[in-house]
Structure 1
Amino acid sequence: MRTHGTLTRLPADHAAEVPTGVGATIDARGRSLTASRATVAVTGMRDVDA
């Protein structure tokens, strides 16, 4: 989670609190989490001779 969005801008001591808070929230909701995600990669190549 540390590399996600605005978390990268937090001071280290604040960022360290995030996993603890997320873990406590997951525990309070039945100790499970289903996360759906997709990864998309786009690449390109520039033709410098064109």
Structure 2
Amino acid sequence: MTHEFDEVELRLAHLEQILERLRQEHQQLRAQLVQVEEQQALKRQQHS
């Protein structure tokens, strides 16, 4: 029983690492998106 529990704990820790990495990637992508939107807004202002 204890062995199975350890196995589950390990899997959970692994999933938490993956989730944390995805969170960081998500933040980076959002930051990039904001930059792109700002650049597009600047281009639109220049064209008008």
Give the TM-score taking structure 1 as reference length.
Answer: 0.38
- The structure whose Rg is larger is 2
Higher helix share: 2
Give the TM-score taking structure 2 as reference length.
Answer: 0.39
Greater relative contact order (CA < 8 Å, ≥ 6 in sequence): 1
